[in-house]
Structure 1
Amino acid sequence: MKHLLLVVSFFCMSETIIAQSNLAQRLFDAHDLFREKSVNVRREFKHRHLVPLIERLKTSPNFAVSEAGKSFEGRGIYQIKYGKGAPPVLLWSQMHGDEATATMALLDIFNFLNASGDGFDDLRKKLLEKSTLYFVPMLNPDGVERWQRRTAQEIDMNRDAVRLQCPESKLLKNLQQTLKPLVGFNLHDQSPRYSVGNTKEVAAISFLATAYNEERTINSVRERAMQLIVGMNRDLQKYIPNQVARYSDEFEPRAFGDNIAKWGTSLVLIESGGYKNDPEKQYLRKMNFIAILTALEAIADGTYTRQNRNDYEKIPQNEKNHFDLIIRNARTELNGVSYTVDVAINRNESNNADATGFSYRSSVEDFGDLSVFYGIEEIDAQGAQLLDPKSGKPVVLKLGDRANFELRSDKKNWKVDNGFLKN
């Protein structure tokens, strides 16, 4: 009898994995049909652009749109409700104003939920009847306006879950306390320089089932988040293989994720990191679209319970082993002494006046033996000399300096202009 139960369990698990994989592939193939075409550039999308997109949902009988509250500067923060069943699920994006990837993905999901006759109606019906979804896109619109992490009060809202000094923080806690969602999705962006464990792969997406105490205890609430992440990770591996990581679960007593888990809601953190040739994170927007919708289906039909939570621990942790550019084996000198160094350079974004665009400011982050680090872009200078492009003299490296220099050798010459490599 025990053997029979194991066989049945195996087949149920296999059918679940196949079904989820098929849905992920169908969503991947169809994403462009639902992609909100008016949004392509992260910084250019402000609260004033969000409002008409939310207002148009009011014409659909499947959505209930309301103003959940206002930001410190009086901008409306919207709640979009979809569905009429149990369990309730709460999703919010851009609590950090300069983290827009998931907001774009939520707009695509609204278009998806509002469509019909395209082969996905069974999924929409399931979500409509077997769950109630509450979306809060752009939770920090004042920060979005400035393209900054913090609120208008210069407070990091994700460290304000206890003191609740921001109106946006009070709003989020009130939603959790009144809606009592089974699952919450805390949607963020992270640095594009995180590594997947100690590997050369950049973390495109990172997940976290947040801890609710210092001991990082696993109860049923946290286990549910782990099981959901196991399913999402499996789906995304096909599209970003070996580029999914696990965010540190160190307990942060001031953070919303940790406290919401403590208050009884399974908290899934999704961090959009870096992907090659995707500076506006449009491919990662697509990954969010797939991951969120497949997870919502698993919540609606309960199939997440078939996932093995131990597989969560197998996801490599985020590490900080990447720089934008590493120049290896360059030669420089000081006081007439020549020596070999690797040079690590980052290109940091600096907002323009109205925070709708940016320019890069490069910085020398480290130099010396950097053999344990990776560059998103790398070159082997093969002993080429680091020279000042104006004087032609050897560069005296200093941390924090702009990366403007030439590399000259008998074999090849390069130029580094504001951190960008040019042949």
Structure 2
Amino acid sequence: MKYLLIFVFSLIFCQVSCAQKPVYQQVYEAHDGYREEAIQTRRFTLSDIEPLLLKLREQSGFSVTKLGESIEGRPIYDVSFGKGDTQVLLWSQMHGDESTATMAGLDLFNFFAADDDPFDALRDTILQNITVHFIPMLNPDGAEIFKRRNALGIDLNRDALRLQSPESQILKNIRDSLNADFGFNLHDQSTYYTAGVKKEAATISFLPPAYNYAKDINPVRERAMQMIVQLNEALQHYAKGYAGRYNDDFEPRAFGDNIQKWGTSTVLIESGGFPNDPEKQQIRKLNFMLLLTALHSIATESYKQLDRARYWEIPENERYLYDLIVRNVQKEVNDKLYTVDVGINHIEIEFENINDYFDIGSIQELGDMSTFYGYEEFDAEGMVAVPGKIYEEVQPDLDAVQKLDAKKLMREGYTTVRVRDLSGQEDVRKQLILDVTSQYSEPDHELKLNNRPNFILEEKGKPKYAVVNGFLRKL
């Protein structure tokens, strides 16, 4: 009885306190309770989420419809709920490797499948006033191999006119059948975009796509701009300074531009990078909050009160970020020392499936990088970059490399180990501190563009730090 009273009191307290908070704050704080735990990383396929979608058919108020099939025969689903006259269409993973909003969509489904909690009134407001249609994976063939394009090799977001692919035809058909009032085009963008000319990443970028070359603003596009003003206000409370504005040049082949042209107020949401969030789980939470904020705004028409001119206050996307910048390092050329900054990015390389991958570092810039920023930065003033050496003793496999004393070897100037058998053991490779290469390779570790970043930072002849495969290690 004691615990029942505590629960009831807590519920009443939450209902009272929640009522005093704006919707975006309520749902952001409650996200963990609706997070779909079956999906923990941004790499997954249709087979991972299809059981979750089909299970929704057991939930009252949900309709899960197969709209058609991809080129390789994978089903494409529409998850719909709500009974209002206003039609809202959302689609995610038009590009197979852009999955952040798909994760948020699964959380959104859990939110609307719940009942008897403090959000009953919010759900009822949305469900009574709008009908939601969500295509959570428009390009399942691309998602299968975690690649942008579909099995035909085309970019679906450049197929709105010819409609060459079945996936494109599906999106066009559902848009036309609904004559959707609002559309949300959900993507991921480069993690190296910044929100203007500054260090903050463009974690979320918005765009109300233009529907002609003149970039005219009619009532359809104006509604999209007002909606973005609303979403940006919410985002600033949790990622202040991390919102960007996507370039609005008209692209006549793009779906967003054409759906705007066809009469659906369309909002592009692009998920970029965020510090210490490689799997985009924090950005997933932001997407969940933004989508619920948008649905509530449409249901209550609160967006109509906002001035579209405030959209232009959002800084435009720029590209000023690197994964790591090593500043003021001394590089020796012809027995002379020169001071340079080093910009390093990481590239994901896959093995046999999309979840077996590792990062390879690459030197992307050398010189004066004072106007650029890094997710990680290090000032190597007074230190000389010495190319990393290759360990003489060839190791049989990756497990043997893991057993080596990596710190000791790096202090001796080694960054790289030759390995006889590099196959398998992908999980081991992700944990390695030392870089590895084939027993027959002769990697070039000079500090120059496009090389693998493997060097020792020495101060007065003593090793202080190592950059191994683009990752900074303190010695």
TM-score by length of 1: 0.93
- Rg larger in structure: 2
Relative to structure 1, the CA distance from residue 301 to residue 280 in structure 2 (aligned partners, 3 Å threshold; closer, same or farther) is same
Name the structure 1 match of 2:448. Answer: 398
Worse-matched range after superposition: 412-421 or 133-142: 412-421
8 Å CA contact retained: 1:340, 1:383: no
Q: Does 1:417 align with 2:416?
A: no
8 Å CA contact retained: 2:445, 2:451: no
Relative to structure 1, the CA distance from residue 308 to residue 62 in structure 2 (aligned partners, 3 Å threshold; closer, same or farther) is same
Q: Does 1:264 align with 2:263?
A: yes
Worse-matched range after superposition: 250-259 or 134-143: 250-259
Secondary structure of residue in 1 paired with 2:66: strand
Name the structure 2 match of 1:35. Answer: 35
1:21 Cα deviation from its structure 2 partner: 5.8
Q: Does 1:345 align with 2:349?
A: no
Name the structure 1 match of 2:439. Answer: none
Deviations 1:263-284 (A, max 9, x none): 1111111111111111111111
Worse-matched range after superposition: 123-132 or 320-329: 123-132
Map 1:73-112 → 2, pairs under 5 A: 73-112=72-111
Secondary structure of residue in 2 paired with 1:319: strand
Secondary structure of residue in 2 paired with 1:413: strand
Worse-matched range after superposition: 195-204 or 335-344: 335-344
Q: Aligned to 2:458, which of 395, 408, 419?
A: 408
Name the structure 2 match of 1:195. Answer: 194
What is the identity percentage for the equivalent residue pairs of Structure 1 and Structure 2? Answer: 51
More contact order relative to length (CA 8 Å, sep ≥ 6): 1
CA distance in structure 2 between the partners assigned to 1:80 and 1:67 by the alignment: 9
Q: Does 1:160 align with 2:159?
A: yes
Count of residue correspondences: 405
8 Å CA contact retained: 1:20, 1:235: no
8 Å CA contact retained: 1:79, 1:134: yes
Worse-matched range after superposition: 408-417 or 244-253: 408-417
Name the structure 2 match of 1:282. Answer: 281
TM-score by length of 2: 0.83
8 Å CA contact retained: 2:447, 2:453: no
1:26 Cα deviation from its structure 2 partner: 1.0
Worse-matched range after superposition: 144-153 or 393-402: 393-402
Deviations 1:341-394 (A, max 9, x none): 111000111222111232001111010111111111111100311111118799
CA distance in structure 1 between the partners assigned to 2:108 and 2:198 by the alignment: 33
CA distance in structure 2 between the partners assigned to 1:279 and 1:267 by the alignment: 28
1:154 Cα deviation from its structure 2 partner: 1.2
Name the structure 2 match of 1:5. Answer: none
Map 1:200-279 → 2, pairs under 5 A: 200-279=199-278
Amino acid at match of 2:173: N
Name the structure 1 match of 2:335. Answer: 336
CA distance in structure 2 between the partners assigned to 1:21 and 1:350 by the alignment: 44
CA distance in structure 2 between the partners assigned to 1:214 and 1:34 by the alignment: 42
Name the structure 1 match of 2:12. Answer: none
CA distance in structure 1 between the partners assigned to 2:121 and 2:68 by the alignment: 33
Deviations 1:163-188 (A, max 9, x none): 21111011111111111111100111
Name the structure 2 match of 1:22. Answer: 22
8 Å CA contact retained: 1:20, 1:294: no
1:25 Cα deviation from its structure 2 partner: 1.2
CA distance in structure 2 between the partners assigned to 1:176 and 1:65 by the alignment: 17
1:398 Cα deviation from its structure 2 partner: 2.5
1:55 Cα deviation from its structure 2 partner: 0.9
Relative to structure 1, the CA distance from residue 21 to residue 192 in structure 2 (aligned partners, 3 Å threshold; closer, same or farther) is farther
Worse-matched range after superposition: 350-359 or 302-311: 350-359
Secondary structure of residue in 2 paired with 1:89: strand
Relative to structure 1, the CA distance from residue 343 to residue 233 in structure 2 (aligned partners, 3 Å threshold; closer, same or farther) is same
1:335 Cα deviation from its structure 2 partner: 2.5
8 Å CA contact retained: 2:388, 2:445: no
CA RMSD of aligned residues (A): 1.8
CA distance in structure 1 between the partners assigned to 2:329 and 2:141 by the alignment: 45
CA distance in structure 2 between the partners assigned to 1:47 and 1:182 by the alignment: 28
CA distance in structure 2 between the partners assigned to 1:260 and 1:76 by the alignment: 23
Long gaps (5+) in structure 1: 1-17
8 Å CA contact retained: 2:62, 2:79: yes
Secondary structure of residue in 1 paired with 2:22: helix
1:395 Cα deviation from its structure 2 partner: 6.2
Amino acid at match of 1:192: T
Secondary structure of residue in 2 paired with 1:313: helix
CA distance in structure 2 between the partners assigned to 1:359 and 1:333 by the alignment: 31
Worse-matched range after superposition: 59-68 or 91-100: 59-68
Secondary structure of residue in 2 paired with 1:399: coil
Amino acid at match of 1:380: D
Deviations 1:241-283 (A, max 9, x none): 1111111111111111111111111111111111111111111
Name the structure 1 match of 2:428. Answer: none
Name the structure 1 match of 2:71. Answer: 72
CA distance in structure 2 between the partners assigned to 1:20 and 1:264 by the alignment: 36
Deviations 1:287-316 (A, max 9, x none): 000001011111111111001111110011
Worse-matched range after superposition: 177-186 or 333-342: 333-342
Amino acid at match of 2:389: K
CA distance in structure 2 between the partners assigned to 1:112 and 1:311 by the alignment: 31
Secondary structure of residue in 2 paired with 1:73: coil
CA distance in structure 1 between the partners assigned to 2:20 and 2:466 by the alignment: 48
CA distance in structure 2 between the partners assigned to 1:347 and 1:375 by the alignment: 12
Name the structure 2 match of 1:7. Answer: none
8 Å CA contact retained: 2:445, 2:452: no
Amino acid at match of 1:313: W
8 Å CA contact retained: 1:206, 1:272: yes
Secondary structure of residue in 1 paired with 2:389: coil
Name the structure 2 match of 1:322. Answer: 321
1:95 Cα deviation from its structure 2 partner: 0.6
